């Protein structure tokens, strides 16, 4: 009995001694690994707590600063829980249940003169597999600054990533780890897009199968009057607001051939304002048709359906100065787009991309627009057909008067159009039904009518259509390849209008 008690006492002492030895040894290893960065002022922390039984390590009030002191990170608490000793000793793995990072404030600052040393210390290559069941980052903020410009800012975000696994082989790839479900919630995002545009989002939620944004705003950095000082040639001033944008069931492949797929993208209450100053030097670069743009994308895409609802588009064009810009707008805009893809271009049953638009032109006239094309068609053939009803003189004059110094009087009851073409030439038909339509040529001040020119114009112009309306073939309309597809479409309309009125 005494021998048993002695043995038991020795075992207990060894276990207790072994525990404390292991505890202090592990703590020493952690502290020694942090010693050099601490001494160099790169890392500081207030507390280190650990439990061998629970397999946990907790660091509090951690700060990190880059050697150049330009970037820094502050973390209130970093907790690692349930480290597996068995996996470490027998499976060559560093495995843990969770890593929790609380209230990190991340500030990254990059300057153009920052140099990176090319010298590398010879270190033993790390070959252990790393497995983390859960990574949680809570109540975080992030700022990325380049030189004096704030490029990206997240006011607050929470991030959760599950089933993380990184092997020696995986660490050589573009994405150095595998992962399962994830969830990112951002409150207040700002992104400096380019020299002319900023992007902000009030709320963003990003999970493995859904993206939703609220309060998206792509805003111009300059006013309509001042932006021309910052462009080398004619370029659009744009202001885009979207109340909600949802991407459902998406799949994103980032390794190898990059691909994106979604069965449905929905946009609610978009307000898109575009302004172009035509007094600036022309942009004479070749413009691609939309089918060609999609075909040449570096990313493979497949979007089954896209919906835009309860939206508005405004377009203004400053043709001459001084004077107001020509303006048109479309409200109550509803758009359906189907089968947008640039994958498997050689397949025989390649789908037809269809665009269906229903809107109110200038807030009054009902307008329908149907457009289709095939992305894999290297001739970029297309078909557009549609109609408009009760187009008033007020609707026409908002664009005609500033653009052509002409004022219309009367109403067009019905318009029907059907055009088809390719990247070079288009043709088709235009039909109008109207009565008592007159045109008044204005003097330079645009306040008074030039009676002589107006009289001549109305002798030349047919002011009424006969029974069943007037239908004309637009003939052959050659595309100006330095202009957009919408300019191409307008050229077809313009050709038809000339043949009907004159």
Map 201-248 to HEC letters.
Answer: EEEEEEECCEEEEEEEEEEECCCCCCHHHHCCCCCCEEEEEEEEEEEE
Stretches in the chain below the pLDDT threshold 50: 4-26, 28, 39, 116-120
- pLDDT for residue 18: 42
What is the reported pLDDT for 498?
A: 80
Helix residue spans in 276-385 (DSSP H): 290-295
Query: What is the pLDDT, as a whole number, of residue 438?
Result: 75
Cα Dmax for the chain: 131
Gyration radius from the chain CA atoms: 33
**Domain residue limits, the chain:** 27-111+127-171, 193-341, 381-502
The count of residues in the chain is 502
Per-residue confidence (pLDDT) for residue 435, from 0 to 100: 80
**pLDDT for the residue 224:** 92
Q: What is the DSSP string of 282-300?
A: P--SPPPPHHHHHHT-SSE
pLDDT for 126 equals 66
Q: What is the pLDDT of residue 429?
A: 95
pLDDT at position 21 is 41
Confidence (pLDDT) at 446:
57
The first and second tokens of residue 328, run together, are 């048109």
Q: Does an H or E element contain 47, and which?
A: strand 47-51
- Buried b or exposed e, range 131-169, using 16+ CB within 10 angstroms: bbbbbbbbebbbbbbeeeeeeebbeebebebbebbbbee
Write down the pLDDT at residue 15: 42
Please choose, from the candidates 285, 271, 274, the residue with its C-alpha nearest in 3D space to the C-alpha of residue 232. 285
Phi, psi (degrees; rounded to nearest 5) at 284: -95, 15
pLDDT at 45: 80
End-to-end CA distance of the chain: 123
Q: Please report the pLDDT score of residue 470 as a whole number.
A: 83
| Residue 20 confidence (pLDDT) | 43
What pLDDT does 368 receive?
96
What is the model's pLDDT at position 118? 45
Under 8 Å between Cβ of 89 and 53:
no
């Amino acid at each position: 009995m005494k021998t048993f008690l002695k043995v038991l006492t020795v075992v207990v002492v060894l276990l207790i001694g072994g525990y404390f030895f292991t505890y202090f040894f592990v703590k020493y290893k952690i502290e020694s690994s942090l010693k050099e960065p601490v001494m160099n002022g790169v890392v500081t922390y207030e507390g280190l707590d650990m439990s061998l039984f629970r397999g946990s390590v907790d660091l509090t009030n951690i700060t990190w600063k880059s050697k150049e002191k330009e970037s820094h990170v502050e973390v209130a608490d970093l907790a690692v829980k349930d480290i597996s000793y068995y996996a470490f000793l027998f499976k060559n793995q560093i495995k843990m249940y969770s890593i929790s990072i609380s209230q990190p404030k991340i500030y990254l600052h990059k300057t153009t003169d920052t140099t990176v040393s090319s010298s590398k210390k010879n270190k033993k290559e790390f070959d252990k597999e790393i497995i983390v069941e859960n990574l949680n980052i809570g109540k975080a903020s992030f700022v990325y600054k380049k030189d004096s410009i704030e490029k990206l800012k997240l006011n607050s975000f929470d991030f959760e990533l599950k089933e993380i696994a990184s092997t020696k082989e995986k660490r050589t790839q573009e994405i150095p780890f595998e992962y399962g479900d994830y969830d990112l919630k951002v409150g207040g995002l700002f992104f400096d897009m380019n020299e002319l545009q900023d992007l902000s989002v009030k709320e963003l939620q990003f999970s493995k199968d859904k993206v939703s944004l609220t309060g998206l705003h792509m805003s111009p950095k300059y006013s309509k009057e001042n932006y021309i000082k910052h462009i080398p040639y004619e370029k659009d001033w744009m202001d885009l607001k979207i109340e909600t944008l949802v991407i459902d069931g998406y799949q994103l492949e980032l390794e190898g051939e990059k691909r994106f797929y979604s069965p449905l993208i929905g946009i609610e209450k978009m307000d898109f304002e575009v302004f172009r100053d035509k007094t600036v030097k022309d942009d004479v670069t070749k413009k691609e048709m939309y089918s060609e743009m999609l075909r040449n994308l570096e990313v493979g895409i497949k979007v089954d359906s896209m919906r835009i609802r309860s939206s508005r588009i405004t377009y203004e064009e400053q043709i001459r100065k001084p004077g107001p810009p020509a303006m048109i707008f479309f409200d109550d805009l509803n758009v359906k787009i189907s089968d947008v893809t640039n994958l498997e271009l050689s397949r025989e049953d390649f789908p037809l991309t269809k665009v269906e638009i229903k809107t109110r032109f200038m807030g009054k006239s009902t307008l329908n627009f149907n457009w289709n094309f095939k992305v894999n068609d290297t001739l970029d053939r297309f078909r557009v057909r549609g109609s408009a009803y009760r187009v008033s003189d007020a609707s026409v004059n908002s664009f005609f008067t500033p653009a052509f110094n002409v004022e219309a009087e009367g109403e067009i009851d019905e318009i029907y159009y059907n055009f088809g073409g390719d990247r070079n030439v288009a043709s088709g038909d235009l039909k109008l039904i109207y009565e008592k339509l007159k045109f008044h040529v204005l003097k330079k001040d645009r306040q008074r009518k030039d009676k002589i020119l107006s009289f001549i114009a109305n002798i030349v112009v047919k002011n009424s259509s006969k029974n069943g309306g007037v239908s004309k073939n637009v003939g052959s309309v050659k595309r100006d390849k330095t202009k957009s597809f919408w300019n191409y479409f307008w050229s077809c309309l313009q050709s038809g209008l000339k043949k009907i009125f004159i």
